[in-house]
Amino acid sequence: MLVEPRNEGNIGSVARVMKNFGFHELTLVNPCRIGGSARALSVHAWDVVEGARRVSTFKEAISRYDLRVGSTGITSTKGGEHVRTPALTPRELREVLTARRGSTAIVLGREDRGLEKRELAECEIITKIPTSSEYTSMNISHAAAVILYELSDFQPPRIETASRFEFDLLIDHFGRMMEESGYPPHKQDKTLLMLRRIFGRSNLTRREVITLHGILRQAEWRFKKG
C-alpha cells in the first residue's frame, strides 16, 4: 500500500518490485496522476498498476486488512514514545507473519515525509529497514524491494489467527475495562496503542482472544459485584 505517492515513477517502480517477488495486490491512497512514467518504469508489471485499488482516505484503505504493518525511517529512543516503537526489521517481520493467517497490508508513506503519527498509530506492527547512519533515507521503491524480498516465498502458515473484527473487539474491550477500573484517562490512548502493538506481534489465535475476553469479563463482574 502506498499512501499519497507524489511521483508516478515510484508507483511504477513499486509495481515492478511487487511482481518481482510475487505480490500483486496494490492499494493507492489518494495518488498523484498516473501516466507514461509509471507505465515505463513498471515494465512488465503494468497490470499491477492497472489493477490497483484506489481510495481517497487512509482509513478506507486499511479497513479490509486483518493486520497493518507501517514502515518508518524514524524510530524513537524515548521511553514514552510508542508510535514508532518497537520497530521490527523486515527479517524479524517475516518471522511474525510466517506464523499467521489472514490479510496483511504493508504500508509505505509519502516520499518526502513518510507516514504521519496518526497513521502509524493505526498499525499493529512497525517495521524499519536498518541503514547506515551516514544516510538513512531510502527511495520508496528500494524500501519496498527490501521488505518484499524478505517476505517472499512464504511457507504455509501454521496457525489461524484472529480476524481484524475479533482483534478490534478485544482492543475495545480493554478500553472499556480501563474506564471501568479507573485507569488514568490521560494514559488510556497510549496504553491501548501499546496493547495493539503487543497483540499485533503475538499472532493471537481466535481461542486466545476468547480467553482474554473471558478474563476481562470476570474482572468486570468482580468490579460490579464490589
Rounded CA gap, 191 and 197, in Å?
10
Rounded CA gap, 29 and 25, in Å?
13
The whole-number pLDDT of residue 226 equals 67
The whole-number pLDDT of residue 73 equals 86
**Exposure string (b/e) for 181-209, b if CB count within 10 Å is 16 or more?**
eeeeeeeeeeebbebbbebbbebbbeebb
**Phi, psi at 16, each rounded to 5°:** -65, -45
Q: Please give the C-alpha separations between residue 108 and each of 24, 118, 145, 192, 223, in angstroms, as whole numbers.
A: 16, 14, 12, 23, 43
Single pTM value for the model: 0.80
- Could you give the angle at the alpha carbon of 59 between the alpha carbons of 175 and 164, nearest 5°? 55
Q: What does the block give as the cell for 168?
A: 478490534
Tens of pLDDT, residue by residue, the chain (226 residues): 999 999 999 999 999 999 999 999 999 999 999 999 999 999 999 999 999 999 999 999 999 999 999 999 877 655 556 777 788 999 999 989 888 888 999 999 999 999 999 999 999 999 999 998 888 889 999 999 999 999 997 665 677 889 999 999 999 999 999 998 999 999 999 999 999 999 999 889 999 999 999 999 998 888 887 6
Helix (H) or strand (E) holding 32: none
Nearest alpha-carbon partner for 99 in 23, 198, 203: 203
Rounded CA gap, 21 and 204, in Å?
27
- Scanning the structure block, which residue is given the C-alpha cell 547506515? 132
For residue 100, what is the DSSP state? -
> Helices 185-202 & 164-181, crossing angle to 10 degrees?
150
Nearest alpha-carbon partner for 73 in 28, 148, 5, 127: 127
Q: What does the domain layout of the chain look like in residue ranges?
A: 2-151, 164-225
**Exposure string (b/e) for 1-24, b if CB count within 10 Å is 16 or more?**
bbbbbebbbbbbbbbbbbbbeebe
| Domain 2-151: CATH architecture, name and number where available | 3-Layer(aba) Sandwich (3.40)
Q: Please give the C-alpha separations between residue 137 and each of 10, 55, 80, 130, 167, in angstroms, as whole numbers.
A: 15, 27, 25, 10, 33
Burial class (CB in 10 A: 0-12, 13-18, 19+), 221: exposed
- Scanning the structure block, which residue is given the C-alpha cell 541503514? 131
